[in-house]
Structures are given as C-alpha cells and as structure tokens.
Amino acid sequence: MVFHHVQVQPTLDDKASFAVVLVNLLLIDTARGIFFPTLWTHVSQLGGDKITLGYCVGAFSLGR
C-alpha cells in the first residue's frame, strides 16, 4: 500500500464556513456578556457569598 502525502495550505476562500465560525464566536461571547452581569443576583438568591461568586466565575471559565 502506497500513501501519498499531500500538504494542503489553509485559506479563507470558504467564506460560508468562516462566517459560521464568526457567528458562533459572537454567540458564545454574547452569552458571557449576558451571564456575568446577572450572576451575582443568582448566587445571592441561592445564599452564596463573594467566594461562591468567584467559584462560579472560575467554573464558567473552566467549562469553556
């Protein structure tokens, strides 16, 4: 069996795929922008303190 190695150079010619990646990044960062300002409200309603808020922010970042 003979394998031929072909090197492919990445390009930005596939504009549809590039647009999908950009929209995906926009949605992910929008989720962070909506989630973080409301996080303290949720943590305090569940009885958490500033330390708990720090754990939640760290867990969110670690989960990404």
Whether residue 41 is contained in a domain is answered as yes
Handedness of CA 6, 7, 9, 14 (dihedral sign): positive
- Other beta carbons within 10 angstroms of residue 61's beta carbon come to 9
Whether residue 5 is contained in a domain is answered as no
Residue 2 and residue 20: Cα distance in Å, rounded? 36
Whether residue 10 is contained in a domain is answered as no
Range of the domain at 47: 15-63
pLDDT tens-digit profile, the chain (64 residues): 666 777 767 666 778 888 899 999 898 888 788 888 899 999 999 999 999 999 998 998 787 6
Q: How many domains does the chain have?
A: 1
DSSP string spanning 20-58? Answer: HHHHHHHHHHHHHHHHHHHHHHHHHHTT--HHHHHHHHH
pTM, entire model = 0.54
